[in-house]
Chain A
């Protein structure tokens, strides 16, 4: 019986949701063969301001999931790391969470919850810097009138495997903005998903990724417009360089029949910096009502613009520096949204380093 269940649950790679993912490199996260460790590595950096708590407790999931790995996480995790920001708390400084410990021979199954009370305003920055195998079920609740900027930095070491769902439930007149940065790891697969609870809710899903030789980064959005007058905007930018660098961006936006007055736009741009890299980009807009304000999508994958490089070089700027300027410029639109100079500089420097690595290895 349990064998049957396992077989039924285990993705084969033929499923729509798994057709791009290199299952063999998931270190057993998808088929149950990963050895579970009891480590709980998510910690807060620095003291928490008043109105903010971070505790491990038992919590029911906010939303159901049809993702096999999330199901496994829910079965395996014994508690939920819960960051709660009380109603009416307005934080001027970001709260830092992070993981800097991990291991590759065992896997961490982690549940995380972020809760914003009504009219709370906060920025939460999650820094992942370790070498690890991690499956994460991260759920966010934005209560009415609250405002969350949620930044996740995937700066994993080179062997890491990270699969996660970042699911936000956005309530009446609440504003959710995520900035997902993926620049490190062997396999990273993130499902940034959003559901709107009531009118007036809005979500901005922004992201950048840079994959070099052999890296696989997948970002699979799902935005569910089930209520009227909610707004969503998706903008992901990626660069790829080096042999077998592979990125996947899926943008599923569903506007249900009840979701009149929806306003949504999604955009994915990829910059192919060398041969042998592959960017898959699949926007997918399903519209069940005509009574909307706007719905659109665009996806582009291209190489360096020769005209831009020529213009810069004609002012004396060497090829390598011109390329760096153009790539930085490409990412700047989104990285600058993080709103933290130190992190922005770090990410841009990392992008420079990736670009240099790519230049040396072709």
Chain B
């Protein structure tokens, strides 16, 4: 049983025109097995929250805390956060030229497990993970995300989620750009990871569509750098009907 606690998190970025405050005090608590949907208008800071938890160097934490089971996450390097059990499925997965998917996955698994996976079982493990996400085996020899379509990149992210078995995952718009079949396949992958590892999930999305596949326990409305309302799944339906007008005007 793990708990990810975000307390009064404040984050800014340095731009050419000075420092811009983006997160203005975010509070969230996610426990193992829970799924928290975060919905909110473009530019409200959802990806900033995701990146800040994962430790992207672009963002400066100016206040607040993030802990995993009481341990300070913000003190950790990016790889230490992953080793502690955090995973970020990115809105825009990065291309890494010249590095094959299979080499990347094996290096990551070696780092996370503390030893190189046994070659014989590993090959099967990767094959199964790729098959489960309906990815052609040829992706193993391709360079990481290079030339992948938008949807293929997202499937690759969730394939890693299943393979690397984190405790807490942040899925940043994993559903954007997926066709109906891919949406189902990806959702099933997330649900398998939830069932297998009692995964806690922060699911950032603009659409209620994915919430029919991945049932949220909580829905949070994010606006202007903070959580402005919380509720159950019914809140998502309300947002879809009414939009964010009530929240952004505040």
A binding-site residues for B, Cβ under 8 Å: 306-308, 310-319, 321-322, 325-326, 328-333
- Min CB–CB distance A195 → chain B (angstroms): 32
Select B96's contact among A306, A308, A321, A333, beta carbons within 8 Å: A308
Select A313's contact among B58, B79, B87, B160, beta carbons within 8 Å: B79
Report whether A311 and B96 are in contact in the complex, using a CB–CB cutoff of 8 Å.
yes
- List A contacts of B96 (CB < 8 A): 308, 311-312, 325-326, 329
Interface residues of B in 93-144 (CB under 8 A from A): 93-99, 103-104, 107-108, 111-112, 143-144
- List B contacts of A310 (CB < 8 A): 54-57, 78, 94
CB within 8 Å for A306 and B99 given contacts A313-B78, A316-B83, A325-B104: no
- Min CB–CB distance A268 → chain B (angstroms): 16
Q: Please give me the residue from chain B that is nearest to A329 by CB atom.
A: B98
Say whether chain A's binding surface is mostly helix, strand, loop, or mixed. helix
Report whether A325 and B99 are in contact in the complex, using a CB–CB cutoff of 8 Å.
yes
The 10 A-B residue pairs with the shortest CB-CB distance, nearest first, are A329-B98, A316-B82, A315-B108, A313-B78, A311-B94, A332-B98, A329-B99, A316-B111, A316-B112, A313-B79
- List A contacts of B107 (CB < 8 A): 312, 317, 321, 325
- List A contacts of B78 (CB < 8 A): 310, 313-314
Q: Please give me the residue from chain B that is nearest to A307 by CB atom.
A: B94
CB within 8 Å for A321 and B111 given contacts A313-B79, A313-B82, A316-B82: yes
CB within 8 Å for A306 and B112 given contacts A311-B90, A312-B104, A318-B79: no
How far apart sit A310 and B57, CA to CA, in the bound complex (Å)?
A: 8
Select B98's contact among A313, A317, A330, beta carbons within 8 Å: A330
Q: A306-B58, A328-B99 are in contact. List 12 more A-B contacts (CB 8 A).
A: A306-B57, A308-B94, A308-B96, A310-B54, A310-B56, A310-B94, A311-B94, A311-B96, A316-B79, A316-B82, A316-B112, A326-B96
B binding-site residues for A, Cβ under 8 Å: 54-58, 77-79, 81-83, 87-88, 90, 93-99, 103-104, 107-108, 111-112, 143-144, 160, 164
- List A contacts of B98 (CB < 8 A): 328-333
Report whether A314 and B88 are in contact in the complex, using a CB–CB cutoff of 8 Å.
yes
- Min CB–CB distance A316 → chain B (angstroms): 4
- List A contacts of B95 (CB < 8 A): 308
- List B contacts of A315 (CB < 8 A): 82, 104, 108, 111-112, 160, 164
- Min CB–CB distance A234 → chain B (angstroms): 19
Q: Please give me the residue from chain A that is nearest to B98 by CB atom.
A: A329
- Min CB–CB distance A24 → chain B (angstroms): 37
Report whether B103 and A325 are in contact in the complex, using a CB–CB cutoff of 8 Å.
yes
- Min CB–CB distance A308 → chain B (angstroms): 5
Q: Specify which of B56, B79, B83 lies most central, judged by the most chain A CB atoms within 10 Å of its CB.
A: B79
Q: Please give me the residue from chain A that is nearest to B163 by CB atom.
A: A315
How far apart sit A21 and B1, CA to CA, in the bound complex (Å)?
A: 64
- Min CB–CB distance B136 → chain A (angstroms): 21
Q: Please give me the residue from chain A that is nearest to B143 by CB atom.
A: A329
How far apart sit A315 and B85, CA to CA, in the bound complex (Å)?
A: 10
Report whether B77 and A319 are in contact in the complex, using a CB–CB cutoff of 8 Å.
yes
Report whether B54 and A314 are in contact in the complex, using a CB–CB cutoff of 8 Å.
yes
- List A contacts of B111 (CB < 8 A): 315-318, 321
- List A contacts of B164 (CB < 8 A): 315-316
- List A contacts of B99 (CB < 8 A): 312, 325-326, 328-329, 332
